[in-house]
Amino acid sequence: MANRIISPSLLSANFLELSKDIEMINKSDAEWLHLDVMDGVFVPNISFGIPVIQAVSKQCTKKLDLHLMIVEPDKFIDVFADMGIYMYTVHYEACTHLHRTIQKIKAKGMKAGVALNPHTPISLLQNIINDVDMVLLMSVNPGYGGQKFITETLNKTQELRELIIKRGSNAIIQIDGGVNYETGKQLFDAGADCLVAGSFVFGSNEAETRISNLLKL
């Protein structure tokens, strides 16, 4: 299993003081910064896009963890590769030709992740698990921060860990949504490698401490 990773979600940051929040991330024990891109079509919300991520990429010293909740993720592979994105995650539900998309991402020198919505079963990953670098399990319905954790995610995490071991895959497991100390410990115990934390980190006056504590669960 990979080392534990915390990837704070920029979606919950203070956009009027983004530079300050990124400096906090740079100083923290977070290894990645999670970037949620939403198009208002695949999910019922719009977040931020290319100009914001370009600005963030110039200041952030951590690995950029891009989560595309959009209908045509293939369109932006070249653009984001040029920004130095580390992990490029697309939704299983948004990709008609998932294997081709993953090949394109890797050809551009990025790591390739695939995300599953809460209702999407792990079994659909059997033929792709050895091609991806990460699987992101949504533990809330995608589109908004601050939602309640879906407890079935714990069973899905265990099932995914079993599939990874069975197939000899090197994929890591990331969980996004409703992460706090309680759910974080349960997820790490279930086999997760990487936790995305949004409002739990950025909504706190002790953000750096919370990141450190999550890693120690």
The model's pTM is 0.97
Q: Which residues contact 98 (CB under 8 A, 6 or more apart)?
A: 90, 92, 114, 128
Q: pLDDT tens, 2-19?
A: 589 999 999 999 999 999
**What letter would DSSP give residue 55?**
H
Catalytically annotated residue among 36, 65, 133, 193: 36
Q: What average pLDDT does range 98-115 have in this prediction? A: 98
Among the four given CATH numbers 3.40.50.1580, 3.40.50.720, 3.60.110.10, 3.20.20.70, the one describing domain 5-215: 3.20.20.70
Q: Is 29 a catalytic residue?
A: no
For the cut 60, the answer to whether the pLDDT of residue 60 exceeds it is yes
Of 8, 28, 16, give the one whose Cα is nearest residue 202: 8
Give the domain ranges of the chain. 5-215
Nearest 5°: phi and psi at 182? -70, -55
The answer for residues whose C-beta is within 8 angstroms of residue 210's C-beta and 6 or more apart is 197, 200, 201, 204
The single residue of 21, 65, 133, 176 carrying the catalytic annotation is 176
Task: List pLDDT tens digits, range 107-165.
Answer: 999 999 999 999 999 999 999 999 999 999 999 998 777 789 999 999 999 999 999 99
Q: How far apart are CA 184 and CA 56, in angstroms?
A: 26
Q: Is 176 a catalytic residue?
A: yes
